[in-house]
Each structure stands twice: as structure tokens, then as C-alpha cells.
Amino acid sequence: MNQSEEEKGTELPYALRDKRELKREESFNFGCHPGLACFTDCCADVNIILTPVDVLRLSRRKEMSTGDFLRKHTLTLFTKDLNLPVVVLRMNDDEKKKCPFVDDGGCSVYEDRPWSCRMYPLGMALPPARAGEEPEPIFFLFEDDFCHGDREETQWTVESWRENQGVTEREELESGYRELVVHPWFIGGRQLDAKRMNMFYTACYDLDSFRRFVFDTTFLKRFELEESVTEEMRQNDEDLLRFAFRWLHFALFGEPTMTVREDARPDGGAGNREAKDQEE
């Protein structure tokens, strides 16, 4: 049975409730360049939710560890409405509350700017998980008065904008994170305990700590892993992040994405779930 528009509306994040929904093929006018009077007006006093890919790319851009980046540049929100902690970019602590990365030339981290900065003026919401249904993203157009971009003539569809802004190119990695956020395990209001919340935060956002967990503990002795996967994640941060998502499917939801080594099983083979619980 399809949801009524009313039901769907009440489930959307507050910021998107009155926005105009756009289908993927629908078009809108938009342009953004330094010649506009509003240039960088959008880069202050704004909630920018960071994805794990954002934290990784921005921390590398700033030549910081993920831990240092998180401490200096982010806030973590825990709310009852959300299944998992949300990481947001910390604005400067002054009157204008500017983004720490904006300067007179615009965005100083442009090539590594966050997902939501790329998407603007579009927003996206995911409906809550439902058994047997792949959540289909819903797209919205922000029509903020301060933004003059909609006076420009260039026309975009949702898809062509995402392509142009480099959103499509990161989709595979971003979707690994979204699959966790809207996982069917949460259906019926189930909540993770604090320990698993912390595991999610570390694996998704503090990738340098997660690397130590994988390579500097007995982790590799306890799980069977393809040598190529181990080597890839040793060499490449994004492969490590892919592996972090895989690990979380096992550690949070008990999915069989990891195999415990025979000799690491506490009872000689009672199964992965027990071994994982022991590890905790």
C-alpha cells in the first residue's frame, strides 16, 4: 500500500517539510558564481551534515587525522528521532557563524566540499526502512530568498546537477553509508546500544582509529579476510571505508559479512555471532 502524501510529509526531516519535491527528470534553473551579490552568503550559519566520505576527504585536505578533524571541525548530534549519531560541520564561533572553510575567493576546500554543499540547491531525504523495500531517495528544491542562483538561465535536472557537482561519482561509497542508516534492522523503532553507536561513529567517521583497530590489534587473526582486501585497505583510505561499512553490517546487525577463523572461535565453531559478542 502506498503511503499518503500526508504520512510521507510527517516523516521528512523538519528542514525539508515545506520544500518543493522534484523528480529525477524534473528541471530547475540554477547558476552559482563569484559575480552574484549573494556569493558565499550560503556559507554561514548553516547545518551541514557530513557523511563519512566528507570527513575523510576534508581531513585529508586539511592534512589532519580524522580524529583531530572531528574534534576541531565537527559537532556530533544524538537525537531520539535518528537511529544513529549525526556529524555536522562546526561553524565559526562568532557573530556571523561562517563556515571555517570560506574565504574571499569562495570555498577554500571546493574540490573536497561536503556532499550537501555539492547538492545545494537540492536536498535529499530517505524514507524510513520498510521490510522488503529498497528506500527510494526523495529530492527537494530549496528556494531560499537569500540565494539568487535561481535567477540564472542554465537549466538542470536532478540527475544532471548531481553529475555536474561530482555527487554521482561518489555515489557508490555514499550509498554504503546510507544502507547502514536506513537498515531494516531499525524497523519497529529498535535502537542500538551505546557501545554499537560508538562502533558506528568510529568505523564511519574516525577512520584513522578504525585503521588501528584493524591493523594494530588481533583483528586480522580473528577474521578470515581475502589478502587482496587487506592489501587494498592498507593502501587506500576509501577501500578501508568500504571495509568499515562491511564490518558494521556484521557488528551492528549480525549479517554474515565477516567470517570468524576456525581457531578464533571460542567453542571451536559455534558461529560468528557468539564470537562477535565475545569480542565486545
Q: Are 220 and 234 in contact (CB under 8 A)?
A: no
Q: Which of 13, 26, 40, 232 binds ligand SF4 (CB under 6 A)?
A: 40
In one letter, which amino acid is 3?
Answer: Q
Q: Rounded to the nearest 5°, which phi and psi values hold at 213? A: -60, -40
41 is a contact residue toward ligand SF4 (CB under 6 A): yes
Place of cell 527510494: 136
233 is a contact residue toward ligand SF4 (CB under 6 A): no
Q: Which of 8, 60, 148, 196 binds ligand SF4 (CB under 6 A)?
A: 148
36 is a contact residue toward ligand SF4 (CB under 6 A): yes
SS3 92: coil
Total of chain residues touching ligand SF4, rule CB under 6 A: 22
With CB under 6 A as the contact rule, which of the stretches 144-152, 168-176, 181-189, 269-277 interacts with ligand SF4? 144-152
Residue 60, Cβ density class (10 Å: 0-12 exposed, 13-18 middle, ≥19 buried): middle
32 is a contact residue toward ligand SF4 (CB under 6 A): yes
Residue among 38 and 173 whose Cβ is closer to ligand SF4: 38
Residue among 114 and 123 whose Cβ is closer to ligand SF4: 114
SS (H, E, C) 131-169: CCECCCCEEEECCCCCCCHHHCCCEEEHHHHHHHCCCHH
Cα(173)–Cα(79) distance, rounded to whole angstroms?
Answer: 25
Residue 139, Cβ density class (10 Å: 0-12 exposed, 13-18 middle, ≥19 buried): buried
Query: Minimum distance from CB of 56 to ligand SF4 (Å)?
Result: 15
156 is a contact residue toward ligand SF4 (CB under 6 A): no
74 strand-pairing partners = 89
Reference 84, options 30, 124, 126, 22; nearest CA is 126
199 is a contact residue toward ligand SF4 (CB under 6 A): no
Q: Which of 22, 43, 119, 248 binds ligand SF4 (CB under 6 A)?
A: 43
SS3 218: coil
Displacement of CA 136 from its chain's centroid (Å) = 16
Query: Minimum distance from CB of 186 to ligand SF4 (Å)?
Result: 29
73 is a contact residue toward ligand SF4 (CB under 6 A): no
Cα(204)–Cα(252) distance, rounded to whole angstroms?
Answer: 12
114 is a contact residue toward ligand SF4 (CB under 6 A): yes
Q: Name residues contacting ligand SF4, limited to 94-113 (CB under 6 A).
A: 99, 101-102, 107, 109, 113
Q: Which of 16, 21, 26, 39 binds ligand SF4 (CB under 6 A)?
A: 39
Binding site for ligand SF4 (CB under 6 A): 32, 36, 38-43, 48, 99, 101-102, 107, 109, 113-114, 117, 120, 146-149
